[in-house]
């Protein structure tokens, strides 16, 4: 047993949210009106086509495993090989048991540390009396007499999420306050602890990140920021324009990304630019072009995903074809490799890298931190301002600029 607990609002499986103004979309529709307006337009016209995402399906499977462990009071490793939403627990490239264990253990530690209290696991809230689309699914919630704890599990590897001022977590806290009896009459200083667990991004030895706010601040955000934005978007009846589009990190899971005029234009700008044209651009034009590079890449990635989905369902797209994925050759069972080549068939052992040692255990993490280092190479690369690495100074070398100086001279500058 993991502390004293009372489970309420637990469903056998998921009642996944479908609200276009739901909690999982809050970070996007608060930043970009076009995303909601175009999505709604297509839904009403019955032209919207949802492209299935393997990563989203895998995340749902990981959530199902985590919820099962919390409800049944079991451990993730007990389900090795069992399928959740079509993905097997513990298999390479499928559900990572270590990652799910971090999430489950984080929730249990909260219960054991702050209990007794009331537990919510995968509970969908719908505050339709406040707003018809105010709806969200809370992965884990724990309410005690002294605080409200909300934990959100992110299974993805490629996108890190900052919990501080997280629109999604604030949305969940706001809707839980509205839908939980007695919460709204508590003191405005009542603590609310919001936690994001994302071990596949930060690593399984990194502690989950928690941000503490208050009931008063959450209610202020909900009434003064969230609901006015939702009401404004609902009242809009005109067609969305390029001025409504505001690209950013929130584009990552936009359901109508290919229709975004800003991303489409960025892609076209890059597609039409040739090497000589880019070389001759002055700095301020290069700056404007480079600033939209990430949007062009997002558009291209989404384009590949949609074209693939259309092709596998028989779509007529002559410029693309389905081919077998490239795979590395492997030996047939029973191949007499050692007998034929002897010692030459075996690669010599080599030490694991600091990253490899770090994955072995918590001691490995400490060891890599103490003994690992990044050697100075003197080499530089370019990166957008969002890159977390500190800015480096250029190594001045006149020869580096000789070609560019000659190009400018030839062009009459």
- Are both 267 and 229 inside the same structural domain? no
- Domain range for residue 273? 260-312
For residue 118, is pLDDT > 70? yes
- Are both 281 and 170 inside the same structural domain? no
Whether 240 is in a domain gets the answer no
- Distance between CA atoms of residues 25 and 250, nearest Å: 9
Residues facing 119 on adjacent strands:
7, 142
Please, which pLDDT band fits residue 408 given cuts at 50, 70 and 90? Answer: very low
CA distance readout (Å), 209 to 26, 166, 214, 272, 305:
20, 12, 17, 43, 32
**pLDDT tens digits for 196-253?**
999 888 776 677 889 999 999 999 999 999 999 999 999 998 989 999 999 988 888 8
Between residues 289 and 257, the one the model is more confident about: 257
- Are both 107 and 151 inside the same structural domain? yes
Please, which pLDDT band fits residue 396 given cuts at 50, 70 and 90? Answer: low
- Say if residues 358 and 205 touch (Cβ distance below 8 Å): yes
Position 252 scores a pLDDT of: 81
**pLDDT tens digits for 310-323?**
888 888 888 988 88
- Are both 231 and 264 inside the same structural domain? no
- Distance between CA atoms of residues 280 and 285, nearest Å: 10
**Is the preceding omega at residue 408 within 30 degrees of 0, hence cis?**
no
CA atoms within 13 A on the CB side of 267: 17
Whether 188 is in a domain gets the answer yes
What's the average model confidence in pLDDT over 252-261? Answer: 89
Bridge pairing between strands 191-197 and 148-153: parallel
- Distance between CA atoms of residues 75 and 184, nearest Å: 35
> Among residues 312, 331, 351, which one ends one of the domains?
312
What's the average model confidence in pLDDT over 116-133? Answer: 93
Position 7 scores a pLDDT of: 38
**pLDDT tens digits for 97-116?**
999 999 999 999 999 999 79
Q: What is the CATH number of the domain that holds 186?
A: 3.90.320
- Distance between CA atoms of residues 362 and 368, nearest Å: 10
- Distance between CA atoms of residues 230 and 127, nearest Å: 13
Position 369 scores a pLDDT of: 84
- Say if residues 215 and 177 touch (Cβ distance below 8 Å): yes
Between residues 89 and 282, the one the model is more confident about: 89
Position 219 scores a pLDDT of: 96
The DSSP output letter for 93 is T
Mean pLDDT of the chain: 84
**pLDDT tens digits for 10-66?**
332 333 345 788 998 999 999 999 999 999 888 888 888 887 778 888 999 999 999
- Are both 154 and 281 inside the same structural domain? no
Position 83 scores a pLDDT of: 95
What's the average model confidence in pLDDT over 376-388? Answer: 76
- Residue 276 gets the label, from left (phi > 0), alpha (psi -120 to 50) or beta, of alpha
Q: Using the structure block, give the residue that is written with the tokens 């009396």.
A: 129
Number of domains in the chain: 2
Position 273 scores a pLDDT of: 75
Position 250 scores a pLDDT of: 86
Position 158 scores a pLDDT of: 66
Whether 252 is in a domain gets the answer no
- Distance between CA atoms of residues 267 and 289, nearest Å: 10
What's the average model confidence in pLDDT over 164-191? Answer: 92
What's the average model confidence in pLDDT over 304-331? Answer: 86
27's tokens: 């970070």
- Are both 128 and 231 inside the same structural domain? yes
pLDDT > 70 in the chain, percent? 89
- Are both 90 and 175 inside the same structural domain? yes
**pLDDT tens digits for 142-162?**
999 999 999 999 998 766 788
- Are both 122 and 19 inside the same structural domain? yes
- Are both 200 and 291 inside the same structural domain? no
- Are both 16 and 158 inside the same structural domain? yes
- Distance between CA atoms of residues 48 and 232, nearest Å: 22
- Are both 173 and 44 inside the same structural domain? yes
């Amino acid at each position: 047993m993991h502390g004293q607990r009372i489970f309420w609002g637990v469903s056998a499986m998921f009642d996944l949210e479908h609200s276009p103004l739901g909690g999982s979309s809050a970070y996007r529709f608060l930043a970009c009106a076009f995303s909601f307006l175009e999505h709604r337009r297509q839904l009403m016209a019955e032209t919207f086509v949802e492209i299935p995402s393997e990563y989203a399906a895998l995340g749902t499977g990981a959530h199902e495993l985590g919820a099962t462990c919390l409800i049944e009071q079991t451990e993730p490793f007990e389900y090795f090989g069992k399928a959740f939403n079509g993905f097997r627990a513990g298999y390479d490239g499928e559900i990572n048991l270590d990652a799910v264990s971090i999430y489950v253990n984080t929730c249990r530690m909260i219960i054991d540390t702050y209990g007794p209290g009331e537990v919510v696991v995968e509970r969908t809230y719908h505050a339709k009396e406040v707003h018809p689309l105010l709806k969200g699914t809370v992965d884990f919630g724990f309410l005690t007499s002294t605080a409200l704890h909300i934990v959100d599990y992110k299974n993805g590897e490629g996108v890190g999420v900052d919990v501080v001022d997280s629109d999604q977590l604030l949305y969940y806290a706001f809707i839980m306050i509205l839908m939980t009896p007695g919460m709204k009459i508590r003191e405005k200083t009542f603590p609310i602890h919001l936690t994001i667990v994302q071990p596949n991004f930060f690593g399984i030895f990194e502690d989950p990140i928690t941000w503490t706010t208050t009931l008063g601040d959450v209610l202020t955000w909900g009434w003064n920021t969230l609901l006015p934005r939702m009401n404004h978007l609902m009242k809009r009846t005109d067609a969305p324009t390029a001025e409504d589009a505001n690209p950013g990190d929130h584009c990552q899971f936009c359901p109508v990304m290919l229709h975004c005029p800003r991303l489409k234009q960025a892609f076209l700008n890059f597609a039409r630019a040739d090497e000589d044209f880019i070389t001759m651009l002055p700095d301020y034009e290069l700056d404007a072009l480079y600033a939209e590079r990430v949007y062009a890449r997002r558009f291209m990635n989404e384009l590949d995903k949609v074209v693939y989905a259309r092709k596998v369902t028989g779509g007529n797209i002559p410029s693309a074809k389905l081919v077998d994925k490239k795979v590395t050759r492997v030996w047939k069972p029973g191949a007499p490799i050692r007998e034929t080549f002897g010692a030459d068939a075996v690669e010599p052992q080599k030490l694991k890298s600091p990253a490899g040692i770090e994955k072995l255990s918590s001691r490995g993490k400490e060891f890599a931190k103490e003994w690992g280092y990044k050697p100075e190479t003197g080499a530089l690369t370019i990166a957008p301002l969002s890159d977390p690495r500190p800015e480096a100074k250029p190594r001045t070398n006149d020869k580096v600029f000789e070609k560019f100086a000659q190009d400018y001279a030839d062009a009459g500058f």
